[in-house]
Structure 1
Amino acid sequence: MIRLLTFLLLVLALGFGFAWLADRPGQLSILWDGQLVEMSLTVAASFAVALVAAVMMTWWLVRTIWTSPHSVRRYFRARTRDRGYQALSTGLIAAGAGNAILARKMSARARGLLRADQEPLILMLDAQAALIEGKQDEARRLFQQMSEDPETRELGLRGLYVDASRLGANEAARQYAETATEQAPYLPWAAKATLEYRCQNGHWDDAIRLLDQQRIAHVLNRAEADRVKAVLLTAKAADQLDAEPTAARDNAVGALKLIKDFVPAALIAAKAYMREENLRKASSVLEQVWKLQPHPEIAAAYVRLRSGDSAVDRLKRAEKLEALKPNNPESLLAVSEAALAATEFGKARSKAEAALRMEPSERVFLLLADIEEAETGDQGRIRHWMVSALKAPKDAAWVADGHVSEKWLPVSPVTGRLDAFEWKVPFDQVGDVSDSHEKAKDAVASLPPVTVTEEAEPQVTVAPGALSPIDTESEMHVATTASPAPEETKEIAPPFFGRPPDDPGVRDPDRPASTKTRLPLF
């Protein structure tokens, strides 16, 4: 395109020049060797242009003839190189497809057309073919040879790392990854592997320094780097909590500055503040995270922040959490649990049922069963809530690579992956939640009535010979035995499971009431 534009500009310039000369006619006289030559300016200009063109054509012809041997040699060399690269490309595709025979054939052809010292991909093709054929020693030798060449060092280290990881040689894989990181910190696989190895060994300071190098090398973007650094600071704070609570507090607060709703960092920061007896700061940290991310562990830590609080005081703290995040299932459950501990059964039941309407879960049904047991003791209603809990959606937990942990961990114990734990329902416990709200309504509607029973007041009789000589005048000191009257059942509810004798919450009307003997009052 540029050449075409240059040619057009040159033609326009020549046309403009000849038109300018045609508008200004004149004569040109040349006296040379006794001869007088006269011509017009237009003819003279045409002659000059033709002379320049002739000189350029002659120079091009001479140059072409002079350089023709080299051009011919370069043409055949390029043709051979193209055939070699075509064979190399076909071999790499065959190796990727798992065709070791074709890969070996193309490797031999490429070696015949290309020089192995000038094209390192031939070694890569041979190594891939050796891996397909199961020749691990040969592949490792080729990768080692590539790692010694500055041009293919990164490729060789990558191959050695993958091979060591596949064989389970974790120490060798770690050394290869660290070598690659030292020589090329911009490699994502090497930086990630080295970071995970340092985290698995608890070397948090080294991991943080490596993360800073990755950020400078632009291996990770800002959001990813902030997330990983928050995890590293939280893990470091967890290790320092017992021995160095002040340092643990600073690291946890630093993690919260990077991720404002990071629950593990908030819990560690609150514990560190409590070690310093700073209740206000601990409460403030938990409240800020609660506003962004309501979490049951935050609620439990906040309600039980002071060990000497009574059940009523804990209920007030739970109600404060509800005020910070109203109309939230976790807020309602926190208040319900605290109300149950404070024996305010009405409030506990109403909050639990409100949470059930918003988000049915196994935890809500179990809480309702606890409330039922503490308030009424009706076994039929308790079993009703327990059966509903079995059918309800399961509760979330800290899960990483299929492993469920009671607490958050920075590294997965299964794969060693950093920041693998998530707060979610375990995969093997995920059920059908499409009609969970309808099932919750049915569970509340089908709740059996409370079975009410009354026992007659015990009759006090004076045992023969129970009067003491010293109480003859007052006749007040007696020994009594209580003979309770048979129980009168106001309402017999239909049995919830099986026959009435199998249900401890419902008395069999055909069975005579048992006589209970009370101990003497005095």
Structure 2
Amino acid sequence: MIRILVFALFVLALAAGFAWLADRPGELSIIWQGQRADMSLMVAATLVVSLVAAVMFSWWIVRVVWTSPHSIQRYFRARKRDRGYQALSTGLIAAGAGDAAGARKMLGRTKGLLSADQEPLIHLLEAQAAMIEGRYDDARRKFELMADDPETRELGLRGLYLEARRLGANEAARQYAERAAEKAPQLPWAAEAALEYRSEAGDWDEALKLLGDGRSGSAEEKKTHARRKVVLLTARAAARLDADPKGAREDAQQALKLGETFVPAGLIAAKAYLREDNLRKAAAILEKLWKATAHGDVAKLYVRARSGDSATDRLKRAEKLEAMRPNNAEALHAVAEAALETRDFALARTKAEAAARLSPRESTFLLLADIEDAETGDQGRIRHWMNQALKAPRDPAWTADGITAPEWRAVSPVTGRLDAFEWKTPVSPLDGPVEEGSTAAVDEAIRTLPPLAIESRPATPVEEVAKVETVEVAQKPVVVATVVEAAPVKDVTPETIKEAAVPEEEERPFFGLPDDPGVKEGAVKRDGTSGFRLF
């Protein structure tokens, strides 16, 4: 573009000069070797310009002839280079596609057209072809050569790192990652790998130092950096909690400044305050965290913050949590547990059933079984709730890579991945788990409770005779069938026994209404005999 502009300006200047001469005519006389030549000024200017153009054209012809051998050589060299790069590109594509034969063929053609000293990517193609063919030792040697070359150092180190990970040589992989991170801190894979290895080793100070301040980068990168810093600070706080509660508290509070709803950091800060006998600040942290997350671990620590509290005090603290987050399954569950400790069975049962309606899960049904065991000891009802617990979804837990942990951890013990643990419901081995939040399942479980055990008069013993009782529950007749062991037959008359064939009650699905007033008052006498008439 600039050349075209310069040429246009030159033509315009030349035309302007000729126009200027045309407006000012004149005569020019030249005497040379006794000869006189007369001409106009315009003709003289035209001759001068033509002479200059002829000289320039002649020089161009001479230069082209003089440099033609080099130009021809350069043309064929460029053509050879282009063919080599085309073969290299085709070979890399073949290696990426897993075509070992194609990659090997293109490698041979590339070596014939290009020099490995001029194009380091030939080493990469050779290493990739060796890996596809299963010659891992040759590939590793190629990566080592690339790691020694300043131009391909990062590429070679990454290849060695991936090869070490494939072989399970974690120590070698760690060294390659740290070497790459030292030489090129901008490489994300190297920094992340070194960070994970230091975190897996529990070297939290070095991990935080490697993480840096994270001031540069996009908004998403800054968010990721802040999350990792929260995790590392919380992990260091957990490691320092027993030996240095004050330092653990400082780290946990710094983590809470970056992530206000990060439950593990809040729990560690509260535990540190409790070890310093500062219940007020610990409660303030837990209450703030409870309002934001309603986490089960927060509720447990808040209710049992002081070891010397009575069961009544714990119940009051649980009810305070419920007041902060009404109609919350975790709050209702905490109140039910505390009420069971105070032997307030009515309150415990009411809150546990409400929690089961909001979020049916294993621990809630087990709590109902504990309430039944403590209040009535009825084995039928206890087995009923245990059966519902088997069908219900499992409780949320800290889960990472298919395993669960009782407490949060910063690194997955399976893969070594940082920030892998999440608070979620583990995968249940049972098919068709009950949908969380389904009140119909809990209502049916409560409605189909077996009646309280009722002692009755011994029936006339017969061989394989079914005893049938009708018990009025919630003003609806419910037929309960039991089987009596065989005994010798004595004076069996039609008036004393009616043969009954009551099929075994089929297990009902996990659905229904919640209210169960229980056995009607007066159904069981104080002496233990039934107040109902047999058939």
- Residues 8 and 64 from structure 1, CA distance in 2 versus in 1: closer, same or farther, beyond 3 angstroms? closer
Greater RCO (CA < 8 Å, at least 6 residues apart): 2
Report the Cα distance in structure 1 between the residues aligned to 2:25 and 2:66, rounded to whole angstroms: 42
Report the Cα distance in structure 2 between the residues aligned to 1:432 and 1:70, rounded to whole angstroms: 80
Question: 2:325, 2:331 within 8 Å by CA — same for their partners in 1?
Answer: yes
Deviation at 1:203, TM superposition (A): 0.9
Report the Cα distance in structure 2 between the residues aligned to 1:91 and 1:284, rounded to whole angstroms: 64
Partner residue of 1:412? 412
Deviation at 1:446, TM superposition (A): 2.8
Question: 1:48-197 alignment to 2 at 5 Å?
Answer: 57=57, 60-197=60-197
Partner residue of 2:447? 445
Structure 1 residue runs of 5 or longer lacking an equivalent are: 455-488, 507-512, 516-522
- Residues 117 and 344 from structure 1, CA distance in 2 versus in 1: closer, same or farther, beyond 3 angstroms? same
Partner residue of 2:366? 366
Report the Cα distance in structure 2 between the residues aligned to 1:45 and 1:315, rounded to whole angstroms: 114
Deviation at 1:451, TM superposition (A): 5.3
Partner residue of 2:247? 247
Question: 1:187, 1:219 within 8 Å by CA — same for their partners in 2?
Answer: no
- Residues 18 and 416 from structure 1, CA distance in 2 versus in 1: closer, same or farther, beyond 3 angstroms? same
Q: Secondary structure in 1 aligned to 2:413? A: coil
Deviation at 1:6, TM superposition (A): 3.2
Post-superposition Cα deviations, 1:291-342, rounded to whole Å, max 9, x if no partner, equal: 2211111100001001111122112211222222233222222222222222
Report the Cα distance in structure 2 between the residues aligned to 1:104 and 1:186, rounded to whole angstroms: 33
Question: 2:28, 2:44 within 8 Å by CA — same for their partners in 1?
Answer: no
Report the Cα distance in structure 1 between the residues aligned to 2:16 and 2:347, rounded to whole angstroms: 102
Q: Secondary structure in 2 aligned to 1:242? A: coil
- Residues 39 and 333 from structure 1, CA distance in 2 versus in 1: closer, same or farther, beyond 3 angstroms? same
Q: Secondary structure in 2 aligned to 1:27? A: coil
Q: Secondary structure in 1 aligned to 2:327? A: coil
Letter in 2 for 1:89: S
Question: 1:330-479 alignment to 2 at 5 Å?
Answer: 330-429=330-429, 431-434=432-435, 436-450=438-452
Letter in 2 for 1:447: L
Post-superposition Cα deviations, 1:51-73, rounded to whole Å, max 9, x if no partner, equal: 77666655544443343322222
Of 426-435 and 315-324, the range deviating more from structure 2: 426-435
Of 2-11 and 334-343, the range deviating more from structure 2: 2-11
Report the Cα distance in structure 2 between the residues aligned to 1:497 and 1:154, rounded to whole angstroms: 77
- Residues 341 and 495 from structure 1, CA distance in 2 versus in 1: closer, same or farther, beyond 3 angstroms? farther
Partner residue of 2:5? 6
Question: 1:196-345 alignment to 2 at 5 Å?
Answer: 196-212=196-212, 221-345=221-345
Report the Cα distance in structure 2 between the residues aligned to 1:44 and 1:332, rounded to whole angstroms: 111
Post-superposition Cα deviations, 1:221-262, rounded to whole Å, max 9, x if no partner, equal: 111111111111111111111111111111111111111111
Of 30-39 and 228-237, the range deviating more from structure 2: 30-39
Of 393-402 and 364-373, the range deviating more from structure 2: 364-373
Instruction: Give the length in aligned residue pairs.
Output: 471
Question: 1:356, 1:364 within 8 Å by CA — same for their partners in 2?
Answer: yes
Post-superposition Cα deviations, 1:182-237, rounded to whole Å, max 9, x if no partner, equal: 11111122112211111122111111101117766889811111111111111111
Match for 2:40 among 16, 38, 41? 38
Letter in 1 for 2:107: S
Report the Cα distance in structure 2 between the residues aligned to 1:99 and 1:353, rounded to whole angstroms: 62
Report the Cα distance in structure 2 between the residues aligned to 1:352 and 1:16, rounded to whole angstroms: 102
Of 104-113 and 356-365, the range deviating more from structure 2: 356-365
Report the Cα distance in structure 1 between the residues aligned to 2:252 and 2:190, rounded to whole angstroms: 28
Report the Cα distance in structure 2 between the residues aligned to 1:433 and 1:67, rounded to whole angstroms: 86
Deviation at 1:37, TM superposition (A): 3.4
Letter in 2 for 1:319: E
With normalisation by structure 1, the TM-score equals 0.79
Question: 2:391, 2:434 within 8 Å by CA — same for their partners in 1?
Answer: no
Of 189-198 and 148-157, the range deviating more from structure 2: 189-198
Report the Cα distance in structure 1 between the residues aligned to 2:252 and 2:353, rounded to whole angstroms: 36
Deviation at 1:96, TM superposition (A): 2.2
Over the matched positions of the two proteins, sequence identity in percent amounts to 57
- Residues 202 and 134 from structure 1, CA distance in 2 versus in 1: closer, same or farther, beyond 3 angstroms? same
- Residues 29 and 20 from structure 1, CA distance in 2 versus in 1: closer, same or farther, beyond 3 angstroms? closer
Deviation at 1:44, TM superposition (A): 8.7
Of 140-149 and 55-64, the range deviating more from structure 2: 55-64
The alignment yields a C-alpha RMSD, in angstroms, of 3.6
Question: 1:398, 1:423 within 8 Å by CA — same for their partners in 2?
Answer: yes
Question: 2:394, 2:425 within 8 Å by CA — same for their partners in 1?
Answer: yes
Question: 1:100, 1:129 within 8 Å by CA — same for their partners in 2?
Answer: yes
- Residues 144 and 220 from structure 1, CA distance in 2 versus in 1: closer, same or farther, beyond 3 angstroms? farther
Q: Secondary structure in 1 aligned to 2:394? A: coil
Report the Cα distance in structure 1 between the residues aligned to 2:327 and 2:53, rounded to whole angstroms: 90
With normalisation by structure 2, the TM-score equals 0.78
Post-superposition Cα deviations, 1:80-103, rounded to whole Å, max 9, x if no partner, equal: 011111111222222223332332
Match for 2:25 among 21, 24, 27? 27
Of 412-421 and 444-453, the range deviating more from structure 2: 444-453
Partner residue of 1:481? none
Q: Secondary structure in 2 aligned to 1:427? A: coil
Question: 2:214, 2:222 within 8 Å by CA — same for their partners in 1?
Answer: no
Letter in 2 for 1:339: A
Deviation at 1:28, TM superposition (A): 4.6
Post-superposition Cα deviations, 1:130-161, rounded to whole Å, max 9, x if no partner, equal: 22222222222111111111011111111111
Deviation at 1:353, TM superposition (A): 2.7
- Residues 154 and 168 from structure 1, CA distance in 2 versus in 1: closer, same or farther, beyond 3 angstroms? same
Partner residue of 1:462? none
Of 279-288 and 355-364, the range deviating more from structure 2: 355-364
Q: Secondary structure in 2 aligned to 1:147? A: helix
- Residues 495 and 341 from structure 1, CA distance in 2 versus in 1: closer, same or farther, beyond 3 angstroms? farther
Post-superposition Cα deviations, 1:409-438, rounded to whole Å, max 9, x if no partner, equal: 111111111111111122344744448333
Of 81-90 and 426-435, the range deviating more from structure 2: 426-435
Report the Cα distance in structure 1 between the residues aligned to 2:14 and 2:421, rounded to whole angstroms: 77
Report the Cα distance in structure 1 between the residues aligned to 2:443 and 2:65, rounded to whole angstroms: 97
Report the Cα distance in structure 2 between the residues aligned to 1:354 and 1:56, rounded to whole angstroms: 101
Letter in 1 for 2:261: D
- Residues 27 and 146 from structure 1, CA distance in 2 versus in 1: closer, same or farther, beyond 3 angstroms? same
Report the Cα distance in structure 2 between the residues aligned to 1:106 and 1:348, rounded to whole angstroms: 76
Partner residue of 2:508? none
